[in-house]
Structure 1
């Protein structure tokens, strides 16, 4: 997604494709800006790094829209075909990192977005008489309805939007890292939070991966370990050193990492990490439901 040229609206279009169709996509929405309603052909999960936003969500198979407030530390699931819009109702930038699965997308390894309103709306491919008949209105009304939004992807409304959110709407699709149980915790060393279909219901049947959030205290070590699945790792804070060992004990990675570094760990490869003086944290997905 990209800036549509309107004041105050911006987004980072830096999607990176990795092995097995996995992707990472940092996204920023400036204060009081609105990402117009859309859906996509791929599933992704987001981890909020900074700020807050109101998100409208209609999941596949549901007809009622949910409205949720998400803030730093929240994880939100966005299955493919999900209808969403995003509004930054705060006074600072809203920053989120998405990790996703684009292996089965229209274009393998890429997410394709379908906007509902605006100049690039998917409905613009229909003639006015078709749209009028579909909506049960005359052609003049249809023209007004489908051309009333001049923006493309992100707009800045003239007035602040007031949207009522409900905590109950978070159930199954949003979970804060502090609300999830530790799957591993070492006092003064760090902890790992795991999110699966057991504590984030939207993952069941819609995603082929689970989620981990790992936090190491300064100078602590994440001892060597492996998953029987591919792991995509995004460093969210701090710095440190990561090593990965593969077949026949070959070193496949030995590097210093910092915030915004991205790593791919192949299935059965062993990863270890040592945090620097400020600690080391990462958000990751593993191509296994467990």
Structure 2
């Protein structure tokens, strides 16, 4: 009798659990459907219009003169090619003792140092101030301390997440020139497909007015009028402090109203790059420590890997996913070192890729950087980018580029020169050939592990196909198919063949 009652209770419990599971399963498609719709909506929010009939090599669309330098902009809002890639760019030329004022943006930023040297500072929220002045009494309130500041030089790339405040200072004797890319199409940007820079200091009137005008041109006339009238009532252009009440600023910083009003820089006409009147004081390791490290290395105190790690202040760090926290992630990497090239041909040139494997912060930014150096008349194999757009800037020399779309149309065929920008949309086939002065570029790709697929060469898609497939696809003999597969043994970077040395374009 007891066993029958137990069996009955077990059967009722099983029936109840079964009905509950069925009810949950019936509700899951609704939940999954709503989740999928939200995910598709999110993806569509970042998807851009890439129906391009023609591509062009781009010059800066505007130029802003500052007190101690020049900023030249490739505005995403003014060009449909940049809108396709979701990337905007700016080239800063910072004079000696010039300071690019602190700012943060609505999207991840990568910049490349074309020439010169200086300091780069980035303020990561929640991270400690690990650099502090020594030799002062502990009770002294003016003791200097700040987050880590990085020395930058020619060939460095520096990556910063969206919303991270950063600044750049030129402490060298020559101009510091850098080109900066902002990935506005990145999912970290929750605003719109416009480049927005939020300035923490100064009063960059020309910079902000131009961006505001371009954004307003894409809106309807009535909305533009409402936006203009509202913004004029609130506050003129300026840094982020200019919109706050002076009294609230004074209370926030525990300072007087006069000092609080200085934060707004209302009468400042220096724009984004200002001149530092005296030497900029930054807490950083001195040359004595560097000389001691070299001496210990020569004595054999530690190996080359350890020397390089210490020489870069901990920024040269091999990672297994555990050593680096977000506060200690490397933001800088020199992409110009020939020894780190991924592809090298002594007769053709080299290609170096920096992605989430050798610069882990790019995993958060979802970006890849590529440095290409082609010697005179050398060629980079026809290829396409599997999973990213590519925006490249020519740093030296010139080269011929051809780009083909999904209809087999030639959408670009021309020479790209130093200082120009070119967009290569995802999956568009592209080929590059250097001119007589060589061809060098820096490219940003919109994926943290961007991959390319060559169409010619030893590791190409054509090489991997059976001869009969090629024979039937191109209506050629098997011998011709075999030559098509095997005649080029180089990988990605091709030297000039003897029969082509006289070819001009």
TM-score when normalising by structure 1: 0.88
CA distance in structure 2 between the partners assigned to 1:141 and 1:99 by the alignment:
35
Q: What is the match of residue 157 of structure 2?
A: 75
Could you say which residue in structure 2 is the equivalent of 1:14?
Answer: 73
Q: Report if the CA contact (8 A) 1:190-1:220 is conserved.
A: yes
Separation (CA, whole Å) in 2 of partners of 1:29 and 1:97: 11
Residues 227/144 of structure 1: CA separation in 2 closer, same or farther (3 Å cut): closer
Provide Cα deviations, 1:65-123, integer angstroms capped at 9, x if missing partner. Answer: 22111111111112211111211111211111112212365774432222223343312
1:34-183 aligned within 5 A: 34-64=99-129, 65-103=147-185, 108-119=192-203, 120-140=238-258, 142-143=260-261, 150=268, 152-165=271-284, 167-168=312-313, 170=315, 172-179=330-337, 181-183=340-342
Question: What is the Cα deviation at residue 230 of structure 1?
Answer: 1.3
Q: CA deviation at 1:128?
A: 2.2
CA contact (8 A) 1:238 1:278 kept: yes
What is the distance in 2 between the residues matched to 1:169 and 1:83?
21
Equivalent-residue separation in structure 1 for 2:392 and 2:259 (angstroms): 49
Match of 1:221 among 379, 382, 399: 379
Distance in 2 of aligned mates of 1:107 and 1:35 = 24
- In structure 1, stretches of 5+ residues that fail to align are none
1:219-268 Cα offsets, whole Å, 9 max, x none, are 11101111122111111111121111222432221111111222111211
* 2:85–2:390 Cα contact (<8 Å) kept: no
Please report how far the alpha carbon of residue 146 of structure 1 lies from its aligned counterpart in structure 2 after TM superposition: 5.9
The answer as to whether partners of 2:336 and 2:371 remain within 8 angstroms in 1 is no
Deviations 1:165-216 (A, max 9, x none): 45326451001124573221222211110011211122122x2321111111
Conservation of the 8 A alpha-carbon contact between 1:22 and 1:109:
no
Distance 2:100 2:383 in 1: 39
Between the aligned partners of 2:184 and 2:375, the Cα distance in structure 1 is 33
The 1:141–1:215 alpha-carbon spacing in structure 2 relative to 1, beyond 3 Å, is closer
CA distance in 2, matches of 1:69, 1:148: 32
Q: Which position in structure 1 is the counterpart of 2:488?
A: none
Which structure is higher in RCO with an 8 Å CA cutoff and minimum separation 6? 1
- Counterpart CA distance in 1 for 2:69 and 2:99 is 10
Aligned length: 286
1:3 matched to 2:65: yes
| Pairing 1:208–2:366 present | yes
**Do residues 250 (structure 1) and 409 (structure 2) align?**
yes
Please, which moves more after superposition, 166-175 or 73-82? 166-175
Once residues 64 and 127 of structure 2 are traced to their aligned partners in structure 1, the CA distance between those partners, rounded to angstroms, is 29
Match in the other structure for 2:440: 281
For 2:257 and 2:75, the matched residues in 1 are separated by: 42
1:258 and 1:60 map into 2 onto residues whose CA distance is 40
SS of residue in 1 equivalent to 2:112 = strand
> Mean alpha-carbon deviation: is it higher for 223-232 or for 126-135?
126-135
8 Å CA contact 1:23–1:109 kept in 2: the answer is no
Distance in 1 separating the partners of 2:422 and 2:363: 25
Instruction: Answer 1 or 2: which has greater strand percent.
Output: 1
Give the drift of 1:22: 1.1
TM-aligned CA deviation for residue 133 of structure 1: 2.0
Change (3 A) 1:143 1:100: closer
- The TM-score with structure 2 as length reference comes to 0.53
Look at both structures and tell me which one has the larger radius of gyration over its CA atoms: 2
